[in-house]
Amino acid sequence: MILHNPIDMHLHIRQGTMLQKVLPWSADYFSSAVIMPNITPPVTSLQRVQEYKQEILACKDNFTPLLDVFLQKFTKEEIEQLKPHIFAMKFYPDGITTNSNSGINGIEEIYPTLELLAQYNIPLSIHGETNASVLEREREFAKVYEKLAQDFPNLTIIMEHISTKELANLATKYDNLLATVTLHHLLLSIDDLCGGALNVHYFCKPTVKLASDKEALGELVKSGHKNVMFGSDSAPHPLKNKFKGAAGIFSAPVILPKLAEFFDGDWDTFQKFISTNAIENFNLEFTPKKVEIVEDEWVVPRMIGEVVPIFAGERLPFSVKVVDEID
Ligand code: DOR
Ligand code: ZN
């Protein structure tokens, strides 16, 4: 089966040698990806946006990186400057995940900035967790999402990497409240993470949840609803850091083969989830690309640089080939 222009709406590629190792796994098969700003120092200014984009394009120029900026209190002038160079602003509640210590404490703090985002038609992307107990963090954040969707009807809000049935329900309730879903939240539950021996390669934030949450996300994605888009949240960490507790799953190498298994012949919905919904929601421009999913067994590498990909060493029934690239 042929897929047109796969787009990853949520991707971490880091910097330096790590970027060089991990980016090809996305850039060779995807037309475009939304690149997360939680690097060090974070992407908070036009200068950082331009430097980061240059680093990415110097590594891979057959791919369209769409950059997010770490949300802060921005002035109208700063927003006007940033607007032509970015895709969205990313909101991390303070300290909630990897490199998110310059986040915002209370959402009301940034209401004036959110007014500007709505006015300038810049999407707001949100890591929606509170500091409640781990399994409740995202469920508790649902009320913030609803309040924002109602308070800012002209602002497009993206609930990133949704992991619970509550947010699966919320994802189809408002036209301005969209959602990304990862591969790992579709395939794994907390039992896979720690029901038997702990598997550090399945540890991420938001953590994978109950089997019932996974089922609800699966139904949502298989509905093909326009609000629902693929965002991998592929987030590589060196193996030694995974054993120090780093949260993040490196899924980029297995995304398309594993989603082909998940969709099990429903290629129309696969195409919508991996591309069409995102393109239509945001009028995206991207590097055209066609990839073919073939029934050809493939073994996931055990290590890529210093990183262990999810499902390392496993034999997968599908592999992916680039058919052609149109100029
Ligand atoms: O598991 C995660 N890893 N969740 C995030 O929100 C950040 C990411 C990372 O950057 O490692
Ligand atoms: Zn992320």
pLDDT tens-digit map of 213-244: 999 999 999 999 999 999 999 999 999 999 99
| Amino acid 107: pLDDT | 83
Position 96 scores a pLDDT of 64
Q: Is the peptide bond before 41 cis (omega within 30 degrees of 0)?
A: yes
- Asked whether residue 199 carries a pLDDT value surpassing 60, the answer given is yes
Residue 195 C-alpha to ligand 2 middle, in angstroms? 24
pLDDT-derived band at 325, boundaries 50, 70, 90: low
pLDDT value for 326: 52
Q: Please give the average per-residue pLDDT across 116-142, as a whole number.
A: 96
Task: Pick 8-254's CATH classification: 3.20.20.140, 3.40.50.360, 3.30.1360.40, 3.60.21.10.
Answer: 3.20.20.140
Q: Is the pLDDT of residue 6 over 60?
A: yes
Report whether 207 contacts 193 (CB < 8 A): yes
Query: Has residue 104 got a pLDDT over 80?
Result: no
Whether 151 sits among the annotated catalytic residues: the reply is no
**Residue 209's pLDDT is what?**
98
- What residue owns the CA closest to ligand 1's atom 3? 248
Closest by CA to 309, choosing from 258, 271, 244, 275, is: 258
Q: Could you identify the atom of ligand 1 that is nearest to the CA of residue 246?
A: 11
Residue 327 pLDDT exceeds 70: no
The lowest-confidence range among 15-19, 26-30, 96-100, 222-226 is 96-100
What burial class does residue 243 get, using C-beta atoms within 10 Å of its C-beta: 0-12 exposed, 13-18 middle, 19+ buried? exposed
- Residue with CA at minimum distance from ligand 1 atom 4: 205
Parse the chain into domains and list their residue ranges: 8-254
As a whole number, the mean pLDDT across the chain is 95
Ligand 1 contact, 38 CB (< 6 A): yes
d(CA 166, CA 168): 5
Q: Is residue 34 in contact with ligand 1, taking CB distance under 6 Å? A: no
pLDDT digits (tens, 9 = 90+) for 161-182: 999 999 999 999 999 999 999 9
Selected catalytic residue, list 8, 68, 213, 233: 233
> 36 C-alpha to center of ligand 1: Å?
10
Mean pLDDT of 252-261: 98
Q: Is the pLDDT assigned to residue 105 strictly greater than 70?
A: no
User: Is the CB of residue 164 below 6 angstroms from any atom belonging to ligand 1?
Assistant: no
Burial 81-119 (b: 16+ CB within 10 A, else e): ebeeebbbbbbbbeebbbbbeebbeeeeebeebbebbbe
pLDDT digits (tens, 9 = 90+) for 297-316: 999 999 999 999 999 999 99
**CA pair distance 174, 157, nearest whole angstrom:** 10
Direct distance between the N- and C-terminal alpha carbons of the chain, in angstroms, rounded to an integer? 22
How large is the average pLDDT for residues 121-131?
A: 96
Nearest Cα residue to atom 2 of ligand 1: 248
